[in-house]
Each structure stands twice: as structure tokens, then as C-alpha cells.
Amino acid sequence: MSEQQFSVSVRVRGYETDVQGHLNQSVYLQYAEHARWELFLAAGITQADLVKAGIGPVVLETTIRYLRELRAGDEVTVGCAFLWGGGKAFRVEQTITRADGVVAAEITGVAGVLDLVERRLVPDPRERMRELATDPAPLGF
């Protein structure tokens, strides 16, 4: 996985665990989504900014590798990096790391930026996001 320049901290809550006491598998996706939105905010991009621009980020594919269990009370860091290519889609790499430094999960995905009127991916998502950002560094620029 790439070096992730942006991260947020999360404490695993009891109601997020399953009968085995592990973090429920769907919550890993929620943590990843939370980190992505926080990254946008750190770059100066709000949901209102996206709506006003007529665009929105979309997830096209996600893969999760569960490496170690997470339990209620665990403090974790959710890292996030956008890897921009030359096409309509870009890669997203995220790690969920326990406080002891052990990586609990790796989440990789493919995303794009949807034109909300045309309902199609914009041809250059990197440039569209750069235009909106007041601080493009968290986006990997």
C-alpha cells in the first residue's frame, strides 16, 4: 500500500461489534467512508461545494483485506490516499491500524467523480477536485 498522508482516529464502539465481539465487517466500510469525507474537508471541500459544482465522488469497487481483529474500545487510525491516474477513475488506498501499530485491515478501491446532471463520470476527476480544493495537499497534489 502507498504511504497514506491523511488519517483520522476512531474508537471502536460496542454497538459496532458482532456476536464474536469483533468489529462488524460493514463498519470497516463506514470507517473508510468517514476518513474519505474528512480528507475532503481537510482539503477544503464540503458536500455543499460538490453539489454546487454539480459533481459527487462515487465508489466503483472496494476490496477489504481483514488482517487482525478489532474489538470494542480499540483505538484505530484510518489512513487514506488517493492515487490519481490519467483516466476517469482513480485508486483509493486505506489502512486501519490499531494503536499498537498492527494493521487490522487494508481497503482498496476504485472511485470516480460523477457529473450529477449527465450521470456520467467526469473525464478528469483530478482536475475537478483540484479546482474545488482550498488546500490540495490532502488530495495528494
Distance of alpha carbon 98 from alpha carbon 47, whole angstroms? 29
Per-position b or e across 94-118, b if 16+ CB within 10 A of its CB: bbbbbeeeebbbbbbbebbbbbeee
Nine-digit cell string for 110: 476504485
**What is the sign of the dihedral through the CA atoms of 61, 137, 44 and 96?**
positive
Confidence of residue 5 (pLDDT cuts 50, 70, 90): confident
Write the pLDDT tens digit of every residue in 27-76. Answer: 999 999 999 999 999 999 999 999 999 999 999 999 999 999 999 999 99
Nine-digit cell string for 134: 482550498
Distance of alpha carbon 118 from alpha carbon 109, whole angstroms? 23
**H-type helices in 1-141, by residue range?**
25-42, 47-53, 125-132
Q: What is the mean pLDDT of residues 71-95?
A: 97
DSSP collapsed to 3 states, 25-36: HHHHHHHHHHHH
Distance of alpha carbon 25 from alpha carbon 40, whole angstroms? 24
Q: What is the mean pLDDT of residues 14-35?
A: 97
pLDDT at residue 23 greater than cutoff 80: yes
Q: What is the mean pLDDT of residues 82-94?
A: 96
* Cell 463520470 -> residue: 121
Task: Give the global pTM.
Answer: 0.94
Distance of alpha carbon 105 from alpha carbon 33, whole angstroms? 14
pLDDT at residue 19 greater than cutoff 90: yes
Write the pLDDT tens digit of every residue in 100-131. Answer: 999 999 999 999 999 999 999 999 999 999 99
Nearest Cα neighbor of 7 from 103, 119, 133, 117 is 103
